Amino acid sequence: MSATLVRINQIVEPLAEEEKVTVLEGLRQASSPHFDFFLLIVLSATIATLGLITDSAAVIIGAMLVAPLMSPILGVSIASITGDQTLFQRAATALVQGAIVAVLLATILSWLTNVLPFNILEGLPGEVLARTRPSPFDLIIALAGGGAASYALSQKQLSAALPGVAIATALMPPLCTIGIGVSLAEWSVAGGALLLFVTNLAAIGFAGIIVFFVLGFRPDIHQQTWRGLPRSLVVAAILVALVSIPLVALTVQFVQEAQQSQTIEAAVQGELAEIEGVDLVSLSWNLNSDESIDMDLTVRSLSSSALNYNTTLQLQRGIATRLQLTVALVVDVIPEARLDPLVPPTSTPTLEPTPTITAGPTPTPTPTRTSTPLPTLTPSATPTQTGTPLPTSTPTPLQAIVLLPDPTEQGTIELRRSPGGAILDTVIHETHLSLLFDEVAIGDTVWVHVRLVDGREGWVISDVVAAVTATPTVTPTPEPAVVIIPDQTRQPSVAVRRSPAGPILEFVPHGQELALYFDEASQNRSLWAHVLLTDGRDAWIDAQFVAVFTLTPSATPTATEEVTITPAATAGG
């Protein structure tokens, strides 16, 4: 050990006795708990607390320059290496009392800020959060800063470096963050800031002991050494090693959280990339104890039809498949419009360039073959007008239905703007629509032109569309019905399902009109009624919540009809 110390002293010259006395006297004065020390503690704690609350880095740097906590820490270091008990007690007392005053003052200021109607601390500022997750990098910074501070203090010509050291080794901001966490009852914030302060304290003290030892400071009593090393140096090294354990554990946790966050964001971006005109604005998520994820997305969309319930359901399934986790998804959509002053607006308010997505408000009819009747409606019998029939289409659209091969595995099919083009929406199994007779083959896939019940037109794969042949003798016409919920305060809506006791399609409120078929099914000790929703979808609903309209002519000529509600379980025999 002595040989190593000799080599070090060849590079770093030890201090002369007069210089050692000067350093000791300076630290003895700066480390004493006198009025000037506590005045600077109060001022620096006030500046640091308000800087943290207002999220101002410049104000926090100013507090670092004013804070006098570096002197008592170095006083403890040099007292440990020289065995000066008086200096050790004074420096330790000043350090403990100064830290307590700073935490109490920060707690009071934070509490006052929270009580007064300023609403500054509605959320934790970034400067506060930055001091709640220490890492091994903070330990290395404190070691370097403590060594620089003790060496610059021992060399008069290097005193100009002390302000920079004070900024690098922040001591007052972690103490004030503890006070902010206590005032808000955010114990994770207070605990993280306390760990950061202890890390800085141990590292600076350890680095100071090493530097002072190299510069020639020695204990006066031989028993204070252990194998040629000061016992205080060994104790400080053990303390630094103990502090490193939670820092390494926290760093591993932070790395895992960062990797998980990147994976989740990549999954969300990958699914949103398949939806045209939708951009991610923000993403927040929370991993629950049961390994499920609560996810909240905010997206920006140029098209009002780009995201709807079915598209969101597909998005949720895609994200869950990529992550292999259960995902609870909420999407907030921000509508977006692009306006160019050089391009005057058109008469139609729709943003989409193709008129097949939404019907325009113009009074002229849509120029499709099905919107006008064929000339066969005219009474003229001229053979030249009727001699050649249309070879590939009928005058009116056929009623059709979506029939998926395996609805349990693939519950929806994509409705596209053009054959193989952008996705407009998704339609579920057994959705009723109109077939418009246009077909386009792209490779081995044949696309057919269809119209939904809400008037939107698009293209779907022909394999999943089947024409519906009217057979009035099979079942009578569905009767108009209404949803009746006896206790609306406890149950404002009721579920309609894809099959009896099957997956839920949506929830309908009390008074919702629908059409009632005449087939029933018993499943899970409940009687289920087959209904037709207003958008053309077939569904099943608990029969106790459905009643049919019986239209009875009124005896009064001025009245039109009287409505009698009959429970669905007895309607239709």
Scan for tokens 């770093």, then name that residue.
12
pLDDT of amino acid 103: 94
Sorted by sequence, the CB contacts under 8 Å of residue 364 that are 6+ apart come out as none
Q: All domains of the chain, ordered by start, with CATH?
A: 2-250 (no CATH), 273-335 (3.30.300), 393-467 (2.30.30.40), 479-567 (2.30.30.40)
pLDDT of amino acid 45: 93
State how far the alpha carbon of 482 is from the alpha carbons of 237, 542, 573, in Å.
79, 12, 18
DSSP track, 39-99: HHHHHHHHHHHHHHHTT-HHHHHHHHHH--THHHHHHHHHHHHHT-HHHHHHHHHHHHHHH
pLDDT of amino acid 442: 84
pLDDT of amino acid 182: 92
State how far the alpha carbon of 315 is from the alpha carbons of 149, 275, 286, 322, 466, in Å.
56, 9, 18, 11, 27
Mean pLDDT over each residue of the chain, to the nearest integer:
76
pLDDT, one tens digit per residue, over 535-555 is 888 888 988 888 876 544 444
Sorted by sequence, the CB contacts under 8 Å of residue 11 that are 6+ apart come out as none
* Helix, coil or strand: residue 262: helix
% of the chain exceeding 70 in pLDDT: 73
pLDDT of amino acid 374: 38
Which spans in 215-292 are helix H?
A: 231-272
* Mean pLDDT, rounded, for 210-223: 71
Asked whether the predicted pLDDT for residue 47 surpasses 90, the reply is yes
pLDDT, one tens digit per residue, over 311-358 is 888 888 888 888 888 888 888 888 776 666 766 655 544 444 444 443
Sorted by sequence, the CB contacts under 8 Å of residue 112 that are 6+ apart come out as none
The pairing of beta strand 326-335 with beta strand 292-301: parallel
Asked whether the predicted pLDDT for residue 4 surpasses 70, the reply is no
CB atoms within 10 A of CB 260: 14
pLDDT, one tens digit per residue, over 84-138 is 788 888 888 999 999 999 999 999 998 888 887 666 666 788 888 888 888 888 8
pLDDT, one tens digit per residue, over 131-184 is 888 888 888 888 888 888 888 888 776 665 566 666 666 788 999 999 999 988
Q: Please check whether residue 430 is in contact with residue 318, taking contact to mean a CB–CB distance below 8 angstroms.
A: no
> Which has more pLDDT, 563 or 290?
290
> Which has more pLDDT, 101 or 220?
101
* Mean pLDDT, rounded, for 502-511: 85
Per-residue pLDDT band at 371 (split at 50, 70, 90): very low
* Mean pLDDT, rounded, for 460-466: 88
| Residue count (the chain) | 573
* Mean pLDDT, rounded, for 39-59: 91
